[in-house]
Structure 1
Amino acid sequence: LSLSLSLSLSCFSFLLNFFHCETMSVGDAFLSAFLQVAFDRLASRKLLDFAQYWKVDVERKNLIRTLRKINAVLNDAEDKQSKDMAVKEWLDELTDVAYDAEVVIDEFATEALRWKLLEGSVTTQASTEESQVWSFNIPASFSHFMFNVDIKYKIKAITERLDDIAKERHDLGLRDGVQGRSYGFQERLPTTSLVNESDVYGRDEEKEKIIDMLLRDDQEPCRHNKISVIPIVGMGGVGKTTLAQLVFNDGRVHEHFDMKAWACVTEEFDVTRITRAILESATEKPCNLENPELLQLSLQNELKGRKFLLVLDNVWNENYTAWDVLTRPFSACADGSKIIATTRNNNVASIMAGRSVPIHYLMHLSDDDCWLLFQKHAFGNAINSRNHPKLESIGREIVKKCKGLPLAAKTLGGLLRCKVEEDEWEDILNSELWDLPDDKSDIIPALKLSYHHLPTHLKRCFAYCTIFPKDYEFEQEDLVLLWMAEGFLQPSNRRKEMEDLGREYFSELLSRSFFQKSSGYKGEFVMHDLINDLAQCVAGDICFKLEDDMQNGTLEKARH
């Protein structure tokens, strides 16, 4: 039987939508997302009915059982991979098998849909989506027999490979039921308002601009109660916290406001904890209150009639209700009170400040300022730098790799501070940033935090972008079409066009500082070199590319 003779154009369109809807998210550092999608697909009524009819239900159940064994230890494995190479290799092998399992499940789902559509074309075209019924009346054929044999063999082969992986979990000491902590990330130190201004370069203009906004009492861009919000947005490591510290400690700001407070928000937006931190910072006294009601009343009483400045550093919250609850005590503030909020996410800024408020986007340092920062941490001062001309020459090449990111310049400078051999500096120059150990480099771990906060459906889209060379300029529509071709788009609404969904994905990555607008043609975008490094880091061997005679990834496991 030939599908080309029986399937109409509308059936073909339905087929495409089915595949986009059913596409799995695998290949990123967090395989639990893949396993959950695999469970959902294998347990779906469509595949269950089809598996029973084609007599492959035993194989389907065995695959689910093996995946559950692996899923039970996955949190423990993902927490340990950064310090245990054997666990890292175990996860890499699991990722590779996961891709092969995806192919098999896709074939299974494809055949199920093929027979469903074929049966519909033979019987009636009048059935609606609500009244579709599976009734396998198509007589057995040679193709039926061959598919049955082929799919059984493939499922069995995948299950055996996964069984071998599951058995190794005991040898690696992986434990069941461990709650994921931070997926191997080091705990980030909380920030404070203190700053060494002699360590800051190239931020005078931005500092004056923010201070000017703070001192203008007549500024009412979009007021929340009596307090307005100034968001500082930029990619991880660009210096948002440092800029906020400079402004917070400026003498003019200190004189202008009656009361100031600094609160490091971190990933979990705990209103009670943040309120207590604000109250303690504002009063410079410890607070033992646990009751949210008493905390908010105490803060409101302290703020009553006072012009108040609050810095909320490192905000990730996208829940407007939680933000609204946190800001209720601020209604007692005097006019002209302000909040400075730092975040990597444009959407977070819009929730806090409203869409009519101009957001301050913090850009990268110039090469000259980046060198001064690197020089400070690597040599201590310019005199020491000039005393080591060969190291200075290598250092300037290293700074070019930083592409204006202060965190990178400071980290690499600190790594080289006690190293005086040229070979050691050459090693840093020629190494990839993701190869540096996490306990000696804050760069990739800091950027990984942004990746960790991505929704599951965006992680694979971002990792795929490692196919682009560094400094490559691309258009939104081209990348959306590539995502569509790979089947990365997962519509929750069948009526939404794939192109529109892809544009939403792109806008989300842009708002989270993974992409940035090109300085050249206004319709093109680029990834910062270190974001490109991050994509390579999380993609691992999934993507293979040759760039400047350098090979990234291995052909054996490459999928792109």
Structure 2
Amino acid sequence: MILDAFLSKFSEFLVQMVTDEVGMLLGIPGQIEKLDETVRCIQCVLEDAERKQSKGSAIEHWLKQLKDVMYDADDVIDLCQIKAKERLAGSSSHSRCGFPLLSCFGNPFFAHEIGSKIKDINSRLEGIAKRRTDLGLTQSPVSPTRGVRRVDSIISRKTDHFIVVDDIVGEKIEEDTEMLVSWLTEEEKGVRENVCVVAILGMGGIGKSTLAKKIFNDPRIEDEFQLKIWVCVSKEVKGEEVLKCVIRGAGGEPGYTNVRSELVPILERHVKGKKFFLILDDVWEESRAVWDDLLHAPMSVGAHGSRLLVTTRNEKVANGMRATKSHKVDKLSDEDAWSLLIKQVLLKTKMVLYNFT
């Protein structure tokens, strides 16, 4: 029961952290998602392990190792919560993107410390997860109170279009923004469809969402399109929730219905004849159908020249969504990484001086 509580708490903590910004700040792009998957694999066999363990057995030793790691993981959560409370008490401006814990990573030294701890926990848990097969542990049936993985928890960690200026450095992002804005606003010759798709590709935590935010808030996009809509899709998603988000972004109100056949006409009504710019952020292979099977038809009634910008880790997703152009985001150069570090140190210094005075 204690282990189950630890794993559930840690899993909820990870769900809050699965964003491009956190991965970049901690210096561990892709590690948090990987760790979340590992935790879920262990949680699925935990009930079987507790049932089969006996004194001095290999399974008892396995559970003890798991408990030791989870104590360390709990310490990481406590550290982040304490640091977040300290920073939020000093300034409410540090609550970013609806994620209060993000505020604690404004200090690059603390972020590096937490990133190192998470990498260590990930490595130890991976070893523990691999041993589950050798021990003959099997996945237990999901009950209403154990091992439940809520789809809503994935949706609740949505990205949004607000820019964190302190996290933007270097000329490369400016160059990429210029190029992509040009792609999105120029006329596509020989294209009959009303909506053209452009993709931003890159590994997790590399900065795809940050680039998309910069494009979304560019004045030229504002001038070019009648509607701007931002939706975070993520790996697991409810189609009805996406429909509702797009409807609200288009200035409509979906009401209380969750019936797709009722939501689709509402969406069509609000985008018909309008030139729109839609961003679908963080699209996975598992969630690509959101565009193919759900949004493509009703959004096609928009005006000619409308654009869809999709961010994804998977080139197959971009190809499957028939992107006419794709741009791959590269990792920060050494100079830009150093610049980001300096900006964060200066920000922390200013906050210390402000609180001191």
What is the TM-score when the length of structure 2 is the normalising length?
A: 0.58
User: Closer, same or farther in 2 for the Cα pair 1:194/1:253, shift >3 Å?
Assistant: same
Counterpart secondary structure, 2:247: helix
User: Closer, same or farther in 2 for the Cα pair 1:238/1:320, shift >3 Å?
Assistant: closer
Q: Distance in 1 between matches of 2:126 and 2:165?
A: 44
Structure 1: runs of 5+ lacking an equivalent: 1-27, 37-66, 100-161, 167-173, 386-416, 419-560
C-alpha displacement of 1:85: 5.4
1:29 match: 38
1:463 match: none
Alignment of 1:314 with 2:293, yes or no, is no
Counterpart secondary structure, 1:229: strand
C-alpha displacement of 1:206: 0.3
Residue type matched to 2:185 in 1? L
Residue type matched to 1:29 in 2? T
Residue type matched to 2:327 in 1? H
1:364 match: 331
Contact 2:39–2:125 (Cα < 8 Å) also in 1: no
1:337 match: 306
Q: Distance in 2 between matches of 1:278 and 1:206?
A: 26
C-alpha displacement of 1:351: 1.5
Q: Decide which structure has the larger Cα Rg and report it.
A: 1
Q: Aligned runs of 1:447-486 on 2, under 5 Å? A: none
1:377 match: 344
Q: Distance in 2 between matches of 1:294 and 1:344?
A: 32
1:206-264 Cα deviation digits (max 9, x unpaired): 0001100111122567x7x4211111011111111111111111111101001111111
User: Closer, same or farther in 2 for the Cα pair 1:378/1:334, shift >3 Å?
Assistant: same
C-alpha displacement of 1:319: 6.1
175, 185, 197: which one aligns with 1:229: 197
Contact 2:154–2:234 (Cα < 8 Å) also in 1: no
Aligned length: 248
What is the TM-score when the length of structure 1 is the normalising length?
A: 0.38
Alignment of 1:324 with 2:303, yes or no, is no
Q: Distance in 1 between matches of 2:162 and 2:277?
A: 16
Contact 2:199–2:312 (Cα < 8 Å) also in 1: yes
200, 220, 235: which one aligns with 1:267: 235
User: Closer, same or farther in 2 for the Cα pair 1:208/1:323, shift >3 Å?
Assistant: same
User: Closer, same or farther in 2 for the Cα pair 1:322/1:312, shift >3 Å?
Assistant: closer
35, 40, 49: which one aligns with 1:70: 49
214, 223, 226: which one aligns with 1:255: 223
User: Closer, same or farther in 2 for the Cα pair 1:97/1:258, shift >3 Å?
Assistant: closer
CA-atom RMSD in angstroms: 4.2
Contact 2:154–2:236 (Cα < 8 Å) also in 1: no
1:7 match: none
1:398-426 Cα deviation digits (max 9, x unpaired): xxxxxxxxxxxxxxxxxxx87xxxxxxxx
Residue type matched to 1:301 in 2? R
User: Closer, same or farther in 2 for the Cα pair 1:266/1:84, shift >3 Å?
Assistant: same
2:318 match: 349
User: Closer, same or farther in 2 for the Cα pair 1:367/1:216, shift >3 Å?
Assistant: same
1:67-126 Cα deviation digits (max 9, x unpaired): 99339899xx8xx97744599889956744744xxxxxxxxxxxxxxxxxxxxxxxxxxx
The sequence identity of aligned pairs, in percent, is: 28
1:154-178 Cα deviation digits (max 9, x unpaired): xxxxxxxx59x99xxxxxxx99842
User: Closer, same or farther in 2 for the Cα pair 1:176/1:285, shift >3 Å?
Assistant: closer
